[in-house]
Amino acid sequence: MITETGKVVALVGDQVWVQTIRTSACQSCSARSGCGQRALAAVSGGRANQVLVDNSVGARVGDEVVIGLDEQSLLNASLIIYG
């Protein structure tokens, strides 16, 4: 599971917008190219990202949350986009 910590910036019904910002931690991590985080960071260019996710934990604006993406889902999406 690839996880990322973010901050809830808006509520939309049963979903929330979560903003994440990639840091330079990938350079010091021992996993380096073997980790999906690095792939996501390369796509975002280190910019702030916002993603709409289901609010299964009752988060409110300003809350810090952890969102996750299964590695297989990332691979499947990559194959659809680039395949």
**Over the stretch 10-30, which tens digit does the pLDDT of each residue have?**
999 999 999 986 655 555 565
Quick check: pTM over 0.85? Answer: no
Closest CA to 4 of 33, 38, 32: 38
Domain 2-82: which CATH class?
mainly beta
The values of phi and psi at residue 21, to 5°, are: -130, 125
Cβ neighbours of 48 (radius 10 Å): 12
User: How far, in Å, CA of 19 to CA of 21, rounded?
Assistant: 7
pLDDT digits (tens, 9 = 90+) for 26-68: 555 656 555 665 666 665 555 678 999 999 999 999 999 998 8
Residue with token string 């990202």: 49
